[in-house]
Structure 1
Amino acid sequence: MTTQGQAAAVVVADLRKSYGAVAAVRGVSFTVAHGEIFALLGPNGAGKTTTLEILEGFRARDAGRVGVLGLDPSDPAVGRRLRERIGLVLQDIAVEPYLTVRETVARDAGYYPSPRDVDEVIGLVCLAGQERRKVRALSGGQKRRLDLALGLIGDPSLLFLDEPTTGFDPNARRSAWRLIRELRQAGTTVLLTTHSMEEAQELADRVAVIADGRVVAEGTPSSLGGRDRARARIRFALPRGCTTADLPVAATAPGDGGLVTVETGEPTEALHRLTGWALGRGVALDGITVERPSLEDVYLRLTGRGAPEYVPEYVREASGR
């Protein structure tokens, strides 16, 4: 993590970008510490891709301040220096289909002053044994692993990952996550975009949610939007012959599926009272579950894509609703 006085790996301050009358990015600000995995979450069209393209030097900004490894990516004078220090895993990477896997990785290794070993990188992305296969013969998941290899071959200080595990099967996804964690442990900074809330939960030290060109929430996956302060929901089937008035804690009337809901800030105490009550009556609390809003729940509320019922106060506060 960044310590006081140490420059951040990425600095974005009041970033703005419009396409004609359409404001794609409207005052986005965030920082990414050295050695951190930072995830940008948001629906399609929210401004994530434009923000990344500005950071990567592919697109000019209209206003605001941007720093990537202490350099301004819009400055042509630093373009080569910056490219030698960053790795890119984009959604679409143009790769020569008639080259082999090894030829492709070796060619890109020649673009960097101190690349990683070609065979080591091929092994890291689980393509060992595929070195002599032509790119056109690879499956979609294998091509995505090759994209990841090309992002790693230059031994970058900062790695941009745009939907890195799209098309991966569960085993390949877990292997990629393990590799990304190892890169972070070795000191690589990672800026990640993903539509997978599980991926963000598993990998990110911090996340920022972008909606309609603005950052609407930022924090750790466990605390985003007040998740760590959210009231728990205990749900169960009301025992036959009982009403909610019989329960030792306040509960809503049965909803979909015939389950009642208890909302509480003290789930341990509420569960103790409920189970003690059930044991005393000789009845069962069938289907009982205890949950707090997931990262996906929070994301859907913050981006306005959740169902209208059950909008917790902590989410309404975080989203300004």
Structure 2
Amino acid sequence: MLKLLALDRFTILLMVMVVLATIAPISGQAADVFGIITTAAIAILFFLHGAKLSREAVVQGLMHWQLHSLVFAFTFAVFPILGLMAKPILVPMLGQELYWGFLFMCFLPSTVQSSIAFTSVARGNVASAVCSASFSNIIGMFITPVMVSFFILGQTQHDFDPTSSIIQITLLLLVPFILGQLLRPYVFPYMQKMPKIVKVFDQGSILMVVYGAFSSAVAAGLWNQVSGKTLMLLIFACSVLLTITMLMALFVPRWLGFNNADQKAIFFCASKKTLASGVPMAQILFIGQPLGMIVLPIMIFHQIQLMVCGVIANYWSKQPEEEAIELEQT
């Protein structure tokens, strides 16, 4: 049944964190200590991401600027435009706060780990996927706070200045990433001996952040504000958004003449949104706001995208070479 639903261990653990936060939310001084540990885990995660990314992959991937430009356009133009256009429909359907979370999700960069993994499974251009996903996350540290300040917080807090948020996000995510790049010759050999260390920190830090965020949200009465009907409507809205962007990410690269390997890299990088960077950004940007309502859309969208992309990547991995060549020629 789990294979049929494309549920992996991480997806199940995320659901467990939500249930655990609902039953036994962390609060008080314990929550403060837990928050410090979570922040440290996120910083270590981005340090490891920086150390894992090879200079050769960066150079090779950066040469393919057309691919990166298209992924950038999907991530920071197509998604936000669709999110803004959906406002007249989603605000009456979901309420203002959940719509803010939905729009915040549209402003987020792409994923790193899963974009690369799915591109590799589907036999796509992995080097370009590495660079495109990493570049998306780096540039998103600056673009996402500006979009949030202009389209969300600027509507309610007219004196909101994104500068301090950008500095905090840079210190938390970008500085560790750069340090990882600088120390790569010393760190990467140890990472090769422990290949699962990045995955452990990737998944572990997200699980910790989700548990902490939902604990505070439950204490603030999250499940009194979100009914079962609203949750189903949110799942439907996220599914529609993912369907539209995936169809565009599938056909636009073909129309523009990208080869088969590049099409796959664009598809997986351009149609996804990051939970690993999204929740820490939300904690910094939405201080004093209902954080559980803000991160709920990206949590749901993240699970749907992983399930759908897993099925598609496995399908493409079994595609005969003849069909792949024919697809490239068409």
Q: Shorter-chain TM-score: which interval?
A: under 0.3
The structure where helix makes up a greater share of residues is 2
TM-score (norm 2): 0.24
Of structures 1 and 2, the larger Rg is shown by: 1
Return the TM-score normalized by structure 1.
0.25
Larger RCO: Structure 1 or Structure 2 (Cα < 8 Å, ≥ 6 residues apart)?
2
